[in-house]
Chains A and B, each alone.
Chain A
Amino acid sequence: DTEVTQTPKHLVMGMTNKKSLKCEQHMGHRAMYWYKQKAKKPPELMFVYSYEKLSINESVPSRFSPECPNSSLLNLHLHALQPEDSALYLCASSPPSGRGETEAFFGQGTRLTVV
């Protein structure tokens, strides 16, 4: 299994809703990431989990709440989002490495629309 699986593929939510994005990988990777990508822009790092612990939070607003229940799963909980949060949300994972490089494999993303 060499895939990063994200669900749902598409999500439309109101500004008062609570929803969650899910990400799963079974490659034994111990680093998992959430990225946000706006149209015609590169992916922008939001969070990094290393060995199930949050290691990087790129000053993301608290309406985005990540969770890593185990080494295969990564969730992103959404609450009280704004229309400008509409974007493609990408999950990625990387194998353990002592050399520092971060070979990241991406899922297909969740296209989020906030109305």
Chain B
Amino acid sequence: GENVEQHPSTLSVQEGDSAVIKCTYSDSASNYFPWYKQELGKGPQLIIDIRSNVGEKKDQRIAVTLNKTAKHFSLHITETQPEDSAVYFCAASTPTGRRALTFGSGTRLQVQP
């Protein structure tokens, strides 16, 4: 089955700096890659996603890139703000078989004011 690895496990940045979180996946058939933000005591919130026919997608300060050849995808947050502090999860899913999300292990992002 699919295996998703995520790095780093923790990331501390100064307010205004950029943050990058990276994930790799194992199943070349995976075609959907969402990113979730989870604040303390809350459920995961979908913040951006990318499909395998697209290399990059941007939504204001957040962008995701996908390299299908290398089987990795990344989340980029620019101009970080204290409210960006949370745990971020990447995930992947395949169009056949299990058809459910496989999550990475998570990255705790702390933005220092």
Determine the main DSSP class of A at the interface with B. loop
How many residues on the B side are at the interface (Cβ–Cβ under 8 A)? 25
A42→B104 contact, CB < 8 A: yes
Complexed CA–CA distance, A71 and B42 (Å):
24
In the complex, per-residue mask of A79-115: 1 if CB is within 8 Å of any chain B CB, else 0:
0000000000010000000011111111111010000
A99→B100 contact, CB < 8 A: no
B43→A99 contact, CB < 8 A: no
A102→B43 contact, CB < 8 A: no
In the complex, whether A43 has a CB less than 8 A from a CB of chain B is yes
- Distance (whole angstroms) from the CB of A110 to the closest CB of chain B: 10
A42→B106 contact, CB < 8 A: yes
How many residues on the A side are at the interface (Cβ–Cβ under 8 A)? 23
Determine the main DSSP class of B at the interface with A. loop
Instruction: Name A107's closest neighbour in chain B (CB-CB).
Output: B43
In the complex, whether B31 has a CB less than 8 A from a CB of chain A is yes
B42→A101 contact, CB < 8 A: no
B43→A100 contact, CB < 8 A: no
Given contacts A100-B95, A104-B101, whether A43 and B31 have CB atoms under 8 Å apart is: no
B44→A43 contact, CB < 8 A: yes
Instruction: Name B50's closest neighbour in chain A (CB-CB).
Output: A101
Query: Which residues of the other chain, A, contact B49 by a CB distance below 8 angstroms?
Result: 101, 103
Query: Which residues of the other chain, B, contact A56 by a CB distance below 8 angstroms?
Result: 98, 100
Q: List 17 A-B contacts (CB under 8 A).
A: A4-B43, A6-B43, A40-B106, A41-B105, A42-B104, A42-B106, A43-B89, A90-B43, A100-B95, A100-B96, A100-B99, A102-B93, A102-B101, A104-B101, A106-B36, A106-B44, A109-B42
- B residues engaging A (CB < 8 A)? 31-32, 34, 36, 41-46, 49, 51, 89, 93-96, 98-101, 103-106
